[in-house]
Structure 1
């Protein structure tokens, strides 16, 4: 065991965030902490890092173990280049290498005991240098940078000129290169594209230390973790397995809790009816019996109804009018910023009812395409045409469609002036904003809360063409599932950008991969894209260079889809084997039982029961058959 949390409590004011939270992490174990937004996940990580004091309880770290932490919005700063910033992590290695070179020069001029002492120090330093991967630290550093999505041409960029997301990636690279015994990662995939996420999955899977991850990316969690710690209403529950295992066990647990609650409610209702009936007799004995039952009822430890807060979000997307068959046509679209050409001569169309996902690496121009279609920015060349009766609803990942200075109530009221105060409050309540929450200013909301406001406005728009830019960013897993369900029920058309592979697989009917300055079309969901990616990219985007790092990350991405397919194949094979074994066992049982019946019939014959030797032979055979049958019955029961 490398880390343990014991009976952690934490409250902010009157709100209890963590209640008696206990769990432990073994060496090399990969653990996820999950829960809805506001459940206390980031708070728990800060308590583990001693950045925030717990009200009670303690965190114990194994003696001598090192720990590293990447906060949700952590970034680097300073005047270093990207490469120099990561090189800081290897400072001790570099100093050791310089010392070794210095000793080599010294030894040329030394003799006797002085040379012997220098040689001894040289060998010790050389061994340590090799053990700490000193001979390959530069290639390791370059591998991490490329894995996190930085091109070699960007290595000399100043950290000060980077975007917030790029600075976070640099901070993540520094943490990974420092190789602590236990890593804490808070939403590490937020600023990574698909290739980088797949690379990080592989890196963490092979990481020699322990890892604790807070993330909402279900594909990522499925691939990496072997234990899930769920925070729900302040309490922690530990589940062994990956996210899918957790979700299955959680559903079973919740169903069992719900069934127990319903049974108890039924029993309480029954007892109340009996008590009312006894009292209606209005006799001394019946009243005493009723009072006795009431006392028993009062002593019942009443169960709480199991609920999930965000499952109460009511998101229903209904277009006001139906659009024409042709919703969008994009022709010869091009866009560059300064000297960087994002894409050129893009051509695609979207038909009514399609759910189209645009995917691709960071910086390829996916969000730019959506902004051009929404007339937020202009294209350098080309055009787009909207079809008949098309009404757009736009969800912006940066929430520029929201007005930071307005309250939630004003945000809805100003955009939809025909709504009554009650209708506005009901709409906001459907997205978990009740009471005085509706008078909070947008600027004071968390990312997840702003996302819920944007979803509320999207629902009210009654648009028939939804354009969504990273709609699952900042949403917890329950909210993502609600959005997935709403989009799958939606009868309009959807065009969206997302890095959430699970979300894409659940909702997309078509995928456009923006690669090599062009779009490659895949008519299917994310699993289909994984299956056809290499083949179609080679045909339609042959100029796209695929480095060894990209090949490995592509393989890692594909493996997630192939793993699921392989699991299904293995499960089908196991089921076929079970059925075959079951039939063989039943045939053997029938054969032995039939033989025993023959023996019984023979034993009734005078020519047999008067022959002692024959009787003994048949009796021995029947005993052996009985033993075989006993074993076969056990096998049959297990197979059934």
Structure 2
């Protein structure tokens, strides 16, 4: 066991006015299985790059271990996989590599295939196996679940659970729960470390949020009560002060010393109330800093004139000689939230392309409602460019609603001023989702929409979909999201 000490870490990207980290201090144990969570753009990848020594910063990071990053950059993807492993770790023992691959259910024959011929899942497993061969190395594992199907996610989570000494960035709640024993969270105003898995952390966060909201309500009432008391006392003080002069006309004698003493006493009481009021205001200002706020949105989907929007009966799709899916049958009816499930390569994206109107070679029966309007969210974000205002105008969507949805998904005002190509991967996916929710359509089709999107935003998207209740067909490997959203699951 050794420690990673972070002391007074302060960092801002060049040209930025805002610090991502400011005087941050904490300590990590190199034996921990550490889940790393936080909203998109809060600095998770930046922090890992700081550990790797890629940026200059003020403060101190000290550690007796070296750091390795996943996914490892493979420069020659055309090389055989065994040569790629040797690039990562030249001193590896073959039997140790075989042990790791066996744990990940990867057969030896893929070592003698070109690395770029492997599926995304196979590449992920090989790189993890190679990196865990290194001794005295603390692994920084950045979103290994992207593009992994549910079965591969379960397998990789069991593998990581058998290891120790890593920081894992993942936005899949179930995946995190199965393989971490501590959570490092970047909140709105601080960084926290808690023992336990993601569900433990989330339960503690909700409990803390509720406690702060209750305390906030108590202080708010206290401030209002003290404000009213201060006003009454001030009014009394003014009346007493005026009475010193008002008695001249009445003809009676007045003890001005007594009146002055009484006025001073009331003034002192007024100052005391004012002080208590300020203390309550100060206490209140310390609350709610890490509560992720959201606002209610008015979103509406078009209603189609028929209940059934599309139907597939015994559909098989071919690409040349290859059949990618076979005998697929299901209907899409208004109000349904359908999860299209199956391992990678089972034809999910092909079914989506067919429904969206792409010309594909298929057999069987496919019917789609005439004049059916569809909004499609693709896996690819590389086409996004320009600022949000121009993007909304180009896509003929309501700019105010578009930005309101992005605000709900934790976009700051600063983000609105940047070009979309400068956003993080998760922020770009949020742009596509917000655009889709703004479009006046009968059916939403989303293909792996949650890649790179942070956990809290995933929960907020779930809330939006429950509240807004659109008809939607989606492919997503986050099992929690599917369980919470889908009204019907189509297994390919």
Q: Quick one: structure 1 residues 489 and 299, their matched pair in 2 at CA, closer, same or farther if it must change by over 3 Å?
A: closer
Deviates more, 1:389-398 or 1:232-241: 389-398
Q: Quick one: structure 1 residues 152 and 494, their matched pair in 2 at CA, closer, same or farther if it must change by over 3 Å?
A: farther
2:91 corresponds to? 92
Whether contact under 8 Å (2:401, 2:438) holds in the other structure is no
1:222 corresponds to? 177
Structure with bigger gyration radius: 1
- Tell me whether 1:469 sits opposite 2:447 in the alignment: yes
The correspondence for 2:139, drawn from 174, 183, 188, is 183
| Deviation digits for residues 277-336 of structure 1 (CA, Å, limit 9, x no counterpart) | 111121333334323432444455333341557542655553222452322211343334
Deviates more, 1:439-448 or 1:247-256: 439-448
- Tell me whether 1:5 sits opposite 2:8 in the alignment: no
- Tell me whether 1:303 sits opposite 2:306 in the alignment: no
Deviates more, 1:428-437 or 1:464-473: 428-437
2:159 corresponds to? 203
Whether contact under 8 Å (2:143, 2:171) holds in the other structure is yes
The correspondence for 2:21, drawn from 2, 18, 21, is 18
Q: Quick one: structure 1 residues 423 and 217, their matched pair in 2 at CA, closer, same or farther if it must change by over 3 Å?
A: closer
Map residues 72-471 of structure 1 onto 2, 5 A cutoff: 74-78=72-76, 79-88=78-87, 91-93=90-92, 136-137=95-96, 139-140=98-99, 142-143=101-102, 146-147=105-106, 155-159=111-115, 170-178=126-134, 180-207=136-163, 209-281=164-236, 282=238, 283=240, 284-285=263-264, 286-298=266-278, 301-304=282-285, 305-307=287-289, 311-312=293-294, 314=296, 317-337=299-319, 340-387=322-369, 390-399=372-381, 404-416=384-396, 419=398, 429=407, 437-438=415-416, 440-471=418-449
Whether contact under 8 Å (1:75, 1:168) holds in the other structure is no
2:39 corresponds to? 36
The 3-state SS of whatever aligns with 2:331 is strand
CA distance in 1, matches of 2:75, 2:9: 34
| Deviation digits for residues 587-614 of structure 1 (CA, Å, limit 9, x no counterpart) | xxxxxxxxxxxxxxxxxxxxxxxxxxxx
| Deviation digits for residues 143-195 of structure 1 (CA, Å, limit 9, x no counterpart) | 36744xxx777544433567888755543342133355532211121132222
CA distance in 2, matches of 1:440, 1:336: 43
Whether contact under 8 Å (2:374, 2:445) holds in the other structure is yes
Mind listing any 5+ residue stretches in structure 2 that lack a counterpart?
Answer: 241-262
Whether contact under 8 Å (1:9, 1:56) holds in the other structure is yes
Whether contact under 8 Å (2:448, 2:477) holds in the other structure is yes
Structure number with greater CO (CA < 8 Å, separation at least 6) is 2
CA distance in 2, matches of 1:422, 1:273: 39
CA distance in 2, matches of 1:434, 1:25: 30
Whether contact under 8 Å (2:299, 2:468) holds in the other structure is yes
Q: Quick one: structure 1 residues 376 and 157, their matched pair in 2 at CA, closer, same or farther if it must change by over 3 Å?
A: farther
Question: Shift in Å at residue 453 of structure 1?
Answer: 1.9
- Which of the two has greater helix per residue? 1
- The alignment's C-alpha RMSD in Å is 3.1
- The TM-score, its normalising length taken from structure 2, stands at 0.83
CA distance in 2, matches of 1:268, 1:350: 54
CA distance in 2, matches of 1:439, 1:45: 26
Q: Quick one: structure 1 residues 271 and 138, their matched pair in 2 at CA, closer, same or farther if it must change by over 3 Å?
A: closer
The 3-state SS of whatever aligns with 2:389 is helix
Counting matched residue pairs gives 461
Whether contact under 8 Å (2:233, 2:270) holds in the other structure is yes
Q: Quick one: structure 1 residues 82 and 375, their matched pair in 2 at CA, closer, same or farther if it must change by over 3 Å?
A: farther
CA distance in 1, matches of 2:96, 2:404: 58
2:260 corresponds to? none
- The TM-score, its normalising length taken from structure 1, stands at 0.65
